[in-house]
């Protein structure tokens, strides 16, 4: 009888180990590809770029709880480290959620500008970032690059200079980055207005454009759209927001260039799974 109990115990232990191994293998397969996820976090911006266990998080939206839920869905459960966190500019709808990131994850590098508008949210974010013992603080401007190898790299193309603290409008200081994945080029421009979008050194290589300022009429202008002619435009926006985003003029201009429109308020989190080609999945 005692021997039988031992056998049952060994079998049960073996089954538990087998289940754990199965879960780990499944997660390794699930998260091995390159993903660009425009997270559904309400009226704000948050984009997670992943390659296996490496991540870049651009902005964190206005709500840390929603951001944690989304990161839990997009990252392996055992991965509590984010290689690079980028705060495009010090507006709450872009950085409030990042406070929760620094509370719950370890961060290797924190990229931001020196634009300091003295808001309580910005001051709290900086406080939590400074608590991280091993985080590298980086002032991001044109020329900075994160290279993943195999023709995958993130490039900062704006601001043009390292000092933007004398610029009064925080939107004008927004960090602009492009992500190159072979022939696919993603554009992330925070809330940058049209007057600066139009002078960016982009050429016509953008395939996926994140609309500026949640589809506001102050960004993503007709000149800009006709210059780069993206295949897809993603609008990160909250359902029923009181700003009227996205603006009907922006939607019309996007339609006129023949681009497909994807919206987080209507379709949830929008994920590009990229191997040889980028395939879109929508996650409500």
What is the rounded average pLDDT of the residues 52-76? Answer: 95
Give the pLDDT of residue 20.
44
Q: Mean pLDDT over all residues of the chain?
A: 88
Give the pLDDT of residue 118.
73
Between 9 and 83, the more confident residue is 83
Q: Say whether 125 sits in a helix, a strand or coil.
A: helix
Among 110, 108, 115, residue whose Cα is nearest residue 54: 108
pLDDT at 103 over 90: yes
Which band of pLDDT confidence, cut at 50, 70 and 90, is reported for residue 279?
confident
pLDDT, tens digit, 9 for 90 and up, residues 247-256: 999 999 999 9
Which band of pLDDT confidence, cut at 50, 70 and 90, is reported for residue 284?
low
CA distance 184 to 186: 7
pLDDT at 106 over 50: yes
pLDDT at 68 over 70: yes
Question: Which CATH number is correct for 31-283, 3.40.640.10, 3.40.50.1000, 3.60.15.10, 1.20.1080.10?
Answer: 3.60.15.10
Give the pLDDT of residue 10.
53
pLDDT at 7 over 80: no
What is the rounded average pLDDT of the residues 234-241? Answer: 96
Which band of pLDDT confidence, cut at 50, 70 and 90, is reported for residue 1?
low
Which band of pLDDT confidence, cut at 50, 70 and 90, is reported for residue 202?
confident
pLDDT at 62 over 80: yes
Give the pLDDT of residue 192.
97
Strand residues in the chain grouped as ranges (E): 34-38, 47-51, 54-58, 81-86, 106-112, 136-139, 145-149, 152-158, 176-181, 184-188, 208-210, 232-235, 260-263, 269-274, 278-283
For the record, the structure tokens of 13 come out as 């232990």
pLDDT, tens digit, 9 for 90 and up, residues 111-123: 999 997 778 889 9
Among 163, 157, 149, residue whose Cα is nearest residue 201: 157
Between 57 and 31, the more confident residue is 57
The pTM score is 0.88
């Amino acid at each position: 009888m005692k021997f039988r109990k031992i056998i049952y115990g060994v079998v049960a232990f073996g089954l538990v180990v087998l289940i754990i191994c199965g879960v780990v293998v499944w997660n390794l397969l699930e998260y091995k590809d390159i993903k660009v996820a425009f997270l559904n976090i309400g009226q704000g911006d948050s984009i997670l770029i992943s390659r296996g266990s490496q991540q870049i998080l651009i902005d964190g939206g206005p709500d840390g709880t929603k951001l944690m839920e989304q990161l839990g869905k997009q990252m392996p459960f055992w991965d509590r480290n984010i290689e690079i966190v980028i705060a495009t500019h010090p507006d709450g709808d872009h950085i409030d959620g990042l406070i929760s990131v620094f509370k719950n994850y370890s961060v290797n590098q924190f990229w931001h500008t020196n634009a300091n508008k003295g808001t309580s949210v910005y001051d709290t974010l900086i406080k939590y970032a400074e608590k991280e013992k091993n985080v590298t603080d980086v002032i991001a401007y044109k020329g900075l690059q994160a290279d993943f190898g195999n023709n995958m790299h993130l490039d900062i193309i704006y601001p043009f200079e390292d000092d933007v603290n004398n610029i009064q409008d925080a939107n004008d200081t927004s960090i602009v980055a492009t992500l190159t994945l072979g022939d696919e080029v993603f554009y992330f421009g925070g809330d940058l207005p049209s007057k600066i979008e139009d002078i960016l050194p982009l050429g016509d290589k953008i395939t996926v454009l994140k609309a500026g300022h949640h589809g506001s009429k102050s960004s993503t202008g007709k000149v800009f759209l006709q210059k780069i002619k993206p295949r897809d435009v993603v609008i990160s926006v909250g359902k029923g927001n009181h700003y009227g985003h996205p603006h009907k003029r922006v939607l019309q201009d996007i339609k006129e260039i023949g681009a497909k429109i994807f919206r987080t308020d209507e379709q949830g989190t929008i994920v590009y799974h990229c191997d040889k080609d980028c395939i879109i999945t929508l996650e409500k």
